Structure 1
C-alpha cells in the first residue's frame, strides 16, 4: 500500500507541473456543473423561480440564446487574447533572460487557474445553450441556468482584469528573480531542517554492490519514507550516487547497497527514484543558482548590456549562497539515530566555480559589477558555514575574479578600485601568488 501511495504521489507531482493540469480540472468541473444545472431544470427550479422570484429568470428563448451566444463568443476571444499574452511573456523571458526560466513560468498556477475559469465557463454556457428550446414556454426554458452563465461571464471578466495585473508583473525581471529565490529558499530550508535531525555516521561504500538505472532523465527526487522503510525491512543501507538535477543516462550506477538485492527487491527500490524530462527549482535548488547566473550573464552580454539587472540578480545570488553555506555537501536519511542512506549534493566548491566561471567571462570588464561581486564575497566570508573549507573556496574564486578583472580593465582609477577590493578581501594579486594558486 505504501508503494502504491508513493507511486501515486510521484504521478501527481508530474501531472501538477503541467500547464494543462488546472485547466483540465476546471473544465471537467464546469461540465459537471452544467449537467447538475440541467438536472435541476428538469426538477423545475426555473419554474419555481418564475413564480416566486421572476427577476432572476430569463423566460424568453430567443433572449436566452442571444445572451449565451454573446457570452461564448466573448469568452473565447478573451481566452485567445489572454494566452497570446502568455506566449509573448514566455518568448520575452526566453530572449531577454534565459530559456531555462520557461518551465517555472509555465508552471505558474495563477495563469493556469484563469485559463481553467475561462474553459469551465465556456463549456457550461455551451451545454446550457444546447438545452434551450426557443419555442417552449417559460417553464421549459432553463432561465436560471442562463443567469448562472451570465454570472460566470462576469467572473471571467474579473479574472481577465486580474490576469492583466499578473502578466504585467510576471514580465518584470525583479518578479521572476524573486520567485526563483523564494522557491529555492523554501527548498533549502527543508533540506537544512532535515540535516539538523540526521545522524552523519556512514561506513565506506567502496566494496558495496552497485545497481544501475533502467531509464534516463533528470534525477529529480526520491521517496524518502518508503526508501527508509525498505532499508529497515531488508536490513541494508544504500548510497545514492547521482546528484539531484543531473541527467542520468540509462545504465549508469544509481546506488550502492550494503546487501545484495534480488530482482524483485531491486524492482521495488527503483520505484522510489523519480526521473523527469524537465527541471524545476522546487525539486532542485541548484537550478536556481544556474538560472540566476544565466540571467546575469545574459544581462551583461553585448546584445543586452543591462548591468542594472545583473546587480539585482547578484543580490539574490548572494542570499542563496549564504544559505547554501549552512548545508553540508552530503545528506543522510536517518531514523532513530541510525543512518540508512546517504545522498550526494553538488559540493560547494563545484557549485561556486561553475557560477563564477560564466560570470567572470561576461562581467570582468565592468568595474561596477565586479565591485558588486566583491561585496558578495566580503559578505559571505563573514557568514557562518557548515564546513571551514567553504571559506577557502570563497578566497580562491574571489582571487580569480579580481585577477581577470585586473587584466581586462585598463583604466587607472578602476585598477585602484580592484586593488582596494583585494586588500579588503586579504587577497594577493601578484604573479607569484597566482602561480601558487594554480
Structure 2
C-alpha cells in the first residue's frame, strides 16, 4: 500500500467512532470462547449464588442496561455534536469529538458487555459455567460505572475551555513536529540556493479537487537525492488543489522521477486536519472566538479563553526556527522545497479576525493588548515587527469604534482577564 493510502487509512481509523466497538465485538467472541475452553481444562469452578431463574433475570438486566447505555450514548453524542458545532465550530467534530478515546472505548465496553451477556444467557439452560456468569456480572458493574463516569466526562468535555485546550494541545504537538529547531539569534532570511531557474517539468494534480492533508517529505528527499535534483511543492499543507493545478515543480534530475511516485507522497482530503498543518489549530481556535463574538451568541468570555490558548501557541511558534521549508540531504544539498507558514502568517491569523469582530468589546480589546505585550516581552527582536503592526491596527480600531474617550482609554489598557484584572504597573 502506498504511503498516501496508508496515511489516509490511519487518519480515518483515528477519527471513526465505529472502529473500537467493532473490534470489541471481535474481541468478545474470542474471549467468550477462551472462557469456555478454560472451563473445560480446569476443575476450578467459583460458586455462583443464583439459581437458574435468578441468573436469567440478572443477565436480562445486564443486557437491558448495556443496550440502554448504547442508545443513550449515541443519542446524546449526536445532540452534543450539533450543539457544540453550532455554538463553537464544526471543525471540532473530526478533530476532537470523534477522536476522543474515552468515548470510543466506553462504547466498546458497552458493546462487549451486551454481547457477552447475550452469550451467557443463551447457555443458562445448558448449565452454563459459572465463570461466564461472574464475568458477565463484573462487566455489568463496570459498564454502570463507566456510564456514570461518561456523563460527567461528557459534561466537562463539551465546555468551551476544554475544547479549546484540547485543540491547543494538538497544535503544540504539530508545531514541535513541523518546526523542531529553536530560533537562532540572527534574523531569518531565505536560503540562497532556492531554485530560481525555470523548472524542468511540472507535475499536475490529476485526482479529485481536494485539500492537501499531509506530505511525505522524507520520501521526497530520498527520491530527489537519488535523482540528483530538487523537488518543489507548489502547494502547502492546508491548500485546496483543483484538478489540473500544478502539484510539483521539478529541477535538475528530479524531472526523471515518475509522476505517480511523487503523487503517492501527498495525501488529499475534503477537510483540513491538524496532523501536519500547524496553522489549523490556530484556525479552529480563531473560529471559536469569532463565533463567540457574533451577535447571535455574544459570548466574549469564550473569546478571551481562546486568546489565552492562542497566546500560548504564538509563544511556542515565535521561539522556533521557521525556515525548515528548505529540506537538505545528508550532504547538505537542497533537495525539497516544502512551503510552510511563516511568522507573519501565524500573527495575522491570530489577531486580524478577532480584532475586526471583537475590538468593540472591552474584554477583547484589553486581552489582545495583554497578549501582544506578553509576546513582545518574551520573543526575540526579529518577531516584534509583526506584533507592532497588530498593536497599531488595534489602537486605530479602538479609536475608531469607541465614541466616548473614557471607553477608548479603558480599551487601550492591557488586561490578561479581558476586563476585571488589575493592570500591571
TM-score normalized by structure 2?
A: 0.85
Match of 1:251 in 2: 244
In 1, Cα distance between equivalents of 2:354 and 2:327: 35
Deviation digits for residues 112-136 of structure 1 (CA, Å, limit 9, x no counterpart): 1111111122122223333x152x4
Match of 1:401 in 2: 394
Contact preservation (8 Å) 2:231, 2:254: no
Unaligned runs of 5+ in 1: 422-438
Q: Does 1:384 align with 2:375?
A: no
Change (3 A) 1:64 1:333: farther
Contact preservation (8 Å) 2:181, 2:321: no
In 1, Cα distance between equivalents of 2:377 and 2:391: 14
Contact preservation (8 Å) 1:292, 1:317: yes
Change (3 A) 1:127 1:283: farther
Match of 2:351 in 1: 356
Match of 2:268 in 1: 275
Unaligned runs of 5+ in 2: 185-189, 415-425
Contact preservation (8 Å) 1:121, 1:149: yes
In 2, Cα distance between equivalents of 1:195 and 1:370: 31
In 2, Cα distance between equivalents of 1:328 and 1:98: 28
Contact preservation (8 Å) 2:227, 2:254: no
Q: Does 1:158 align with 2:151?
A: no
Contact preservation (8 Å) 1:117, 1:156: yes
Deviation at 1:330, TM superposition (A): 5.2
* 1:96 counterpart (82, 87, 103): 87
Change (3 A) 1:58 1:409: same
Deviation digits for residues 258-291 of structure 1 (CA, Å, limit 9, x no counterpart): 23545x7221221111122233333322111111
Change (3 A) 1:260 1:141: closer
Deviation digits for residues 274-317 of structure 1 (CA, Å, limit 9, x no counterpart): 12223333332211111111222122222222222222211111
Match of 1:331 in 2: 325
Contact preservation (8 Å) 2:217, 2:336: no
Match of 1:171 in 2: 158
Q: Does 1:221 align with 2:219?
A: no
Deviation digits for residues 38-80 of structure 1 (CA, Å, limit 9, x no counterpart): 4445x365xx334xx4x1x478544433322221111010121
Change (3 A) 1:99 1:8: closer
In angstroms, what is the RMSD of aligned CA positions? Answer: 2.7
In the TM superposition, 1:108-147 aligns within 5 A as 108-130=100-122, 132=123, 134=125, 136=126, 140-147=127-134
SS at match of 1:333: strand
**Quick check: 325-334 or 264-273, which moved more?**
325-334
Deviation at 1:4, TM superposition (A): 5.3
In 1, Cα distance between equivalents of 2:35 and 2:340: 54
Match of 1:21 in 2: 19
Deviation digits for residues 353-386 of structure 1 (CA, Å, limit 9, x no counterpart): 344332123212112321111122222223334x
In the TM superposition, 1:15-94 aligns within 5 A as 15-41=13-39, 43=40, 45=42, 48-50=43-45, 53=46, 55=47, 57=48, 60-94=51-85
* 1:284 counterpart (258, 277, 280): 277
In 1, Cα distance between equivalents of 2:3 and 2:37: 36
In 2, Cα distance between equivalents of 1:419 and 1:178: 27
Deviation digits for residues 203-239 of structure 1 (CA, Å, limit 9, x no counterpart): 3245112212222322111223333322223332211
In 2, Cα distance between equivalents of 1:278 and 1:212: 21
In 2, Cα distance between equivalents of 1:176 and 1:205: 44
Change (3 A) 1:152 1:201: farther
TM-score normalized by structure 1?
A: 0.83
Contact preservation (8 Å) 2:328, 2:334: yes
Change (3 A) 1:420 1:226: closer
Q: Report runs of 4+ in structure 1 exceeding 6 Å deviation.
A: none
Contact preservation (8 Å) 1:226, 1:272: yes
In 1, Cα distance between equivalents of 2:336 and 2:104: 38
Change (3 A) 1:33 1:205: farther
